[in-house]
Each structure stands twice: as structure tokens, then as C-alpha cells.
Amino acid sequence: MSTFGARLRAAMDDRGPLCPGIDPHAGLLRAWGLDDTPAGLERFALGAVEALGPVSSSLKPQSAFFERHGSRGIAVLERVLAEIRAAGALAILDVKRGDIGSTAEGYADAYLDPASPLAADAITVSPYLGSSSVQPFVEAAARHDRGLFVLALTSNPGAGQVQHARAGERTVAGTVLAELAALNAGAEPLGSYGAVVGATIGETAEDLAINGPLLAPGVGAQGGTPEAVGRIFGDQVRNAVPSSSREILSAGPDLGALRDAAARTNDAFRTLVG
């Protein structure tokens, strides 16, 4: 198996950069005429994968909206991850895990070991317990040719209190980005250790040249636009993985309408990267 970075680069070059999110909010389930139950969750999530999987380079299920339905919701998530792979897309599981020692190793085994039914191609992780908290995920990703997206510059209120704080000569976010750049050094065509950089942060003076993918949530309903992504990422925009959830999912339950909504957004970002 090739590295995650190589697989993602090939998929983005072939299908475009857009990563539709699969976020089964209760409100979206109701908008699709579905009950907020495990059965409604399954119809929603599998319908989204059926529509978007064959035409997307990657899909990003949000684990929380499956977990809230208990064991039956987790069973749906397992099936969703399998169906994403069957559709030829990469699965980026948004779990934002971050812990230390054997607990971090357990999370890494759960989400990155292909022997696990919850294994994804890549996951999101939080580094804010320190660099050592990410290391078990880094080692598991290397061992299994998987990827990581490490929170760096998120756009949630209050994020700057941590991310913009200074840690020596760099900000905390700058330190995260520098460590990712070191992990990706020499990787071709793209490293497997990415950063999460919100599409609505406005601007940044941080160095985004990490030789890895840059997951950009917040496109669409949250206000992120191709123009904004172009400004934020600059000469690194080719490595941006813009992610849109609500704007695309609200086009359902018609699967053709879902696919058309994703295609319009994807085409806008294809134009951006030339």
C-alpha cells in the first residue's frame, strides 16, 4: 500500500480536492424526513456516501453524530467507513482524539489499524496535551500507511488563546506546523501528516508549507469560500483539502441534488488550484 499522502494526492488530482463532511445533525435528519434514530442515521449516512463517495477524493464522517446513538450508531459508522472505501474515496474520520501513553495507543489502534472495524485512512487529532500525546498516532500512521490531521489553526471562538500563545520563538500553532513539516520532510509527492487550518480564520502569518495536506473545514454554510481559502493558503493552496458539510448535505435527500451540490463546490476549488 502506498502512503496516505500519496493516495490523497492521487485522489485529489483525479477527483478534485473537496472533502464533503458527513455530519448527521438531528436537524439534517429531520430535513431529510428521517427520524433522529439509528435507522434514520443509517439511511442518511449511507445515502450521503452513495451520492458522494464515487465522485469525491475523500469524505469526512464526524464521529460524534454517530456516537450519540450508542452502539447502534457506532455500527453505522463502521459500515459508513467500509462503504467509503468501496466507493474509491478516502475516509478521514473526524474524532479529534488526543491523550497520553497507553490510552493514546488504544485510540490509535482503534482508528488507524486496518484490523479494526473503525479504521479510517486518516483521523483528526489534538496536540494540546503536548507533542508526546501525538506520537502514538504518528507511529501508528507510519506503521499502517495512514494519515493524521493535527489541529493547528482552528476558527472556533477562543482558539487563539491557545494557538496564538507564544512558545519560545514560535506560537503554539507555529510549533505544531513546524513539527509536521519535520515529519513530512522528503516525502513525495505529499507527506501523510497534515494540519487542520480553518477556512474562516481570515488570514495567518504562519508558515503552511509543511509538505502535507491542509484540511480546511468551514467551507459553505460556515462562511468559507474559495476566495478565502486562496488568500489563507496562498502558494500552498494545491495541498488544501476544503471540507463542506451542511451546505452540501442540505441538498438531500435527493442523491442527484447532493451530487450536484458537491460538484459545484468541487469545481470552484478545482479552478482555484488551476
**Which residues participate in catalysis according to the annotation?**
96
On the 0-12 / 13-18 / 19+ scale of CB atoms within 10 A, 249 is buried
Q: Are strands 240-244 and 170-171 parallel, antiparallel or unpaired?
A: unpaired
> Which residue has cell 486562496?
230
In degrees rounded to 5, what are phi and psi of residue 37? -135, 170
Q: What is d(CA 155, CA 153) in angstroms, rounded to the nearest whole number?
A: 7
- The three cell numbers of residue 1 are 500500500
Asked if 183 contacts 191 with a C-beta cutoff of 8 angstroms, the reply is yes
Other C-beta atoms lying within 10 Å of the C-beta of residue 9 = 20
Secondary structure (DSSP) of 108-177? HHHHH-TTSTT--SEEEE--TT-HHHHHHHHHHHHHHT-EEEEEEE--STTTHHHHTSEETTEEHHHHHH
* The three cell numbers locating residue 220: 459553505
